[in-house]
């Protein structure tokens, strides 16, 4: 039965949170001084119960009955209300925000680990909460007192929901090309006109009001990204003591391969010329401000993808242990009882690969959450700046690796199930459909590769890459001290050197004006950088596991060491091949005329 799936292994989450990422060390920061292991564990217990008791039982049914548009209103599956209400009542929406705005001042590291259970159980419910939280955070960070009073608290309490309204049909991810207009009005507001597409949670029947965070161009603003501003555009606007419709219309619901319970809609603003918007922050600063929400969403997508990969792995593991088929290669009695398919080497290969991908990705997402805590709460400016630079560097990887490899890992869960895997009676095909979206929404893999190589690794004249290299070196040093095989450590050290050397070569090409030579293989660069980042995370896990052998639960720690061995021995050698493609500017597609196809 599906409810037998734990979604995530509680031992693994505790291991990552406390043994690898040292969550309790964050309590030394003033912002988290009131917390400790007790409150962290209570948060985890609450989210585990919610995920397993409310979210997961509704997963299949909500997917089977996607949202419908009726008379301009989108009707959701009833379970969405139960999920959202449970999160609001538990304080999930404002968990990481300060006490001053009604939050619990919980570290992002702990909140992310706890939220992973919700993502694995039902990404649609978790996604609506993330959008609402981050819309409120934008208003908290950049809105004036009036906007904060009217919308921020209502969003954090779940009385309203929020969206990010960026994409337009003609512009896609090129946000500098948006044409939605904002015309100044005598009352100090703006009249918004235009359309947006792929707006998750843009219309529904859970709350009366929906607060859209909209990018638009003020009349007369310069072209490109410098002319884009951010606006708060509610579905219902205040008019005296009442709230009235704000000329925001849902023009259609998109039918998706996955994440089906969370509606993705087309929105039309100002068809009647009466859509009011309130400027958030400064004119022309819309994109830099919106990146706060976009980057949070990218890390959220990565965590969701890692969590889904974990859920699919546990589903495959449970099935493989219970499914008898054939006999082991060394079996002599052809009439003897069938063995579970875990007796077959290729099934063990698939399971270990799933584990290596899923738990490596989970650790990397938690590292990003920890850096977010440090970037906001370290007491010194330099420390916060370094943490922010590392977080910015890792964000494209955190978004992309769990999405791309999480899809692969989930496809392996389908494969382990054999013929049952591609039927809707079993869950892996549903996770696989959900996973595919993760490489597209919040910035495609191609965009993330350009961002990583074109901006992030060269940030600060290479300072970001130097900081990352130091962190990896610390991990290998700790692993050696814990007794991890020196060959593994040496291989990771060599891979980091390869990355640094390649990055300098490609950066030099960019400085010389050869942008195609620098960025033509940015997808391969992102892949190789991701492989090394996951090797770094497995090195950290190997060190923690090796140090704990003999203290009980040795099977758990030996499995960790096998997964680390698998990644370091089978994936890390790919770095040199990928680096050669980048270095040689291999031109099979760079020199392709598509008319030939």
134 catalytic per annotation: no
Q: How far apart are CA 44 and CA 115, in angstroms?
A: 8
Q: Work out the number of other CB atoms within 10 angstroms of the CB of residue 240.
A: 6
| List of residues 6+ apart from 234 with CB closer than 8 A | 151, 160, 209, 210, 211, 212, 246, 248
| List of residues 6+ apart from 6 with CB closer than 8 A | 52, 314
Alpha helices in 158-202 (DSSP H): none
Q: Work out the number of other CB atoms within 10 angstroms of the CB of residue 371.
A: 25
From 442, 485, 505, 571, active-site residue: 442
Q: At what angle do helices 286-322 and 123-142 cross, to 10 degrees?
A: 160
Q: Are 488 and 564 in contact (CB under 8 A)?
A: yes
Distance in angstroms between the alpha carbons of the first and the last residue of the chain: 48
Q: Are 247 and 272 in contact (CB under 8 A)?
A: yes
Quote the distance between the C-alpha of residue 166 and its chain's center.
18
Output the CA torsion 114→116→117→122 (10° steps).
140
Alpha helices in 97-247 (DSSP H): 108-121, 123-142, 145-147, 153-156
Q: Which of 302, 286, 383, 346 is closest to 29 using CA atoms?
A: 383
Q: Which of 446, 355, 340 is closest to 408 using CA atoms?
A: 355
Q: How far apart are CA 307 and CA 311, in angstroms?
A: 6
Q: Active-site residue numbers?
A: 442
């Amino acid at each position: 039965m599906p409810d037998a799936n734990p979604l995530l292994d509680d031992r693994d989450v505790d291991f990552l949170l406390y043994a690898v990422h040292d969550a309790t060390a964050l309590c030394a920061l003033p912002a988290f001084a009131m917390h400790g292991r007790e409150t962290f564990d209570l948060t985890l217990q609450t989210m585990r119960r919610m995920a397993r008791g409310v979210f997961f039982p509704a997963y299949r049914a909500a997917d089977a009955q996607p949202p419908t548009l009726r008379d301009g209103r989108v009707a959701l599956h009833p379970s969405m209300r139960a999920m959202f209400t449970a999160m609001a009542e538990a304080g999930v929406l404002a968990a990481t925000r300060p006490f001053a705005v009604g939050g619990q001042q919980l570290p992002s590291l702990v909140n992310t680990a706890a939220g992973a259970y919700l993502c694995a159980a039902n990404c649609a419910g978790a996604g609506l909460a993330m959008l609402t939280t981050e819309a409120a955070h934008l208003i908290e960070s950049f809105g004036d007192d009036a906007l904060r009073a009217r919308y921020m608290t209502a969003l954090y309490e779940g009385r309203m929901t929020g969206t990010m309204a960026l994409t337009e049909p003609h512009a896609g991810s090129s946000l500098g090309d948006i044409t939605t207009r904002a015309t100044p009005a005598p009352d100090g507001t703006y009249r918004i006109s235009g359309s947006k597409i792929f707006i998750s949670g843009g219309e529904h029947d859970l709350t009366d009001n929906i607060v859209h965070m909209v990018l638009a161009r003020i009349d007369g603003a310069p072209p490109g990204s410098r002319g884009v501003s951010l606006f708060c555009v509610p579905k219902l606007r205040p008019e005296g003591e009442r709230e009235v419709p704000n000329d925001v219309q849902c023009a259609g619901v998109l039918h998706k391969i996955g994440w089906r319970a969370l509606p993705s809609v087309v929105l039309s603003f100002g068809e009647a010329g009466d859509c009011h918007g309130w400027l958030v922050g400064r004119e022309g600063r819309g994109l830099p401000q919106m990146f706060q929400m976009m980057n949070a969403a990218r890390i959220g997508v990565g965590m969701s993808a890692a969590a889904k990969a974990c859920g699919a792995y546990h589903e495959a593991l449970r099935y493989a242990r219970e499914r008898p088929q054939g006999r082991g290669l060394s079996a002599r009695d052809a009439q003897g009882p069938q063995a579970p398919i875990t007796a077959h080497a290729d099934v063990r290969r698939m399971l270990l690969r799933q584990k290596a991908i899923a738990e490596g990705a989970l650790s990397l997402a938690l590292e990003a959450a920890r850096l977010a805590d440090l970037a906001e709460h370290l007491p010194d400016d330099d420390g916060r700046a370094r943490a922010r630079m590392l977080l910015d560097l890792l964000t494209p990887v955190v978004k992309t690796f769990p999405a791309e490899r999480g899809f692969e890992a989930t496809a392996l869960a389908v494969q382990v199930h054999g013929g049952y895997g591609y039927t809707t009676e079993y869950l892996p095909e549903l996770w696989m459909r959900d996973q595919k979206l993760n490489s597209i929404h919040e910035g495609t893999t191609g965009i993330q590769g350009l961002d990583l190589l074109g901006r992030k690794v060269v940030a600060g004249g290479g300072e970001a890459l130097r900081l990352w290299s130091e962190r990896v070196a610390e991990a290998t040093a700790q692993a050696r001290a814990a007794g991890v095989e020196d060959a593994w450590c040496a291989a990771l050290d060599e891979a980091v050197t390869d990355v640094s050397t390649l990055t300098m070569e490609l950066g030099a090409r960019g400085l010389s004006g050869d942008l195609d030579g620098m960025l033509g293989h940015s997808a391969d660069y992102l892949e190789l950088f991701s492989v090394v980042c996951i090797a770094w995370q497995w090195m950290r896990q190997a060190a923690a596991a090796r140090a704990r052998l003999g203290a009980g639960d040795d099977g758990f720690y030996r499995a960790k060491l096998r997964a680390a061995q698998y990644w370091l021995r089978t994936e890390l050698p790919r770095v040199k091949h990928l680096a050669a493609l980048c270095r040689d500017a291999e031109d099979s597609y760079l020199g392709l005329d598509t008319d030939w196809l």
